[in-house]
Amino acid sequence: MSFRSILCIYGGAPFERNALNTVMTLARQFTAEARFLHISAALDIYSEPYSLALYGLAISGDMDVGESIAQGNDARRNLAQDEVMAAAKAHGIPFCRRDCLGTAAPIAQAVFCPVTARAKDCIPAAGRLADLIVIARERADAHADLSGILCGLFDTARPVLVVPEQDGVVATPTYEAGAVIAWDGSLPATRALYNALPLLRNAKQIQVICIRNPKASSDFNRFDDIAHWLDLHSLPAHVARIESDAESVPETILRKALAFQAEYIVMGAYGHSHIGQMLLGGATNQILKHSAMPILLSH
């Protein structure tokens, strides 16, 4: 198992540069095709009232709606393409542009794939043919749009690596230092653990944070089991155990990951209703909101 096809949702915004750098690093490590999906907005994505307002301006001669949107799309697309080209050159990776997604090639390369479509339509189509999806996250914005992350998690059956911005600093990740695994024995956590194997094989040290629910009817020794499973994969790990109601689980995971000097966290996402968690909060949302390090999520 390896990451041979990596998809990055990339719009060219400053906060996405850490994700851009991350994808280039992983493409070199795994000899992977890195596909940068740039999504331009089509006119029909706008709500009916807004569309009517734009249409009214166009009729009055104040603006050309189609031309204005096309110019904005072109400017953003060209900026994003230039940044991908520059990053590919800096990492020594060949670059090409492709107006369709195509298939993976047996060499490390960066492919810029511009599309004009709704994100909810093109992210699933592209993501299902990728081994890993990388999405940037505005760490400082508590109300940042999660739709792309949710679409990747729930509509592709692929792991999603969420890469936050770091206060304007472009990080240089290696993904070879330390990793933290948040483990509670759930199905999402199991999928995340398996999906993370290609990354974990490169980690010099691994810490497993086992989250025990004291209200559970029984403890089936899953903490020792996960250490044994990792050892079978030649991945020796230190296991730390916490009680889920002893303190906030998200705070504990983040605090231990920082103390461990981990480069990234592996965890299951939205073990319960993601709609409920979006409305009420939850471990996944809290860690997404506050983590200063990348998070590999699976649902």
pLDDT tens, per residue, the chain with 299 residues: 789 999 999 999 999 999 999 999 999 999 999 999 999 877 665 544 555 555 555 555 555 666 777 788 889 999 999 999 999 999 999 998 875 454 455 789 999 999 998 888 999 999 999 999 999 998 765 567 788 999 999 999 999 999 998 765 666 678 888 999 999 888 999 999 999 999 999 999 999 998 776 665 555 445 668 889 999 999 989 998 877 654 578 888 998 899 999 999 999 998 755 554 544 357 888 888 888 899 999 98
Phi, psi of 267 (to 5 degrees): -160, 155
d(C-alpha 111, C-alpha 96), whole Å: 5
Cβ-based neighbour number of residue 63 at 10 Å: 11
d(C-alpha 150, C-alpha 269), whole Å: 10
The pLDDT value recorded for residue 276 is 43
Phi, psi of 258 (to 5 degrees): -65, -45
The pLDDT value recorded for residue 177 is 86
d(C-alpha 264, C-alpha 22), whole Å: 12
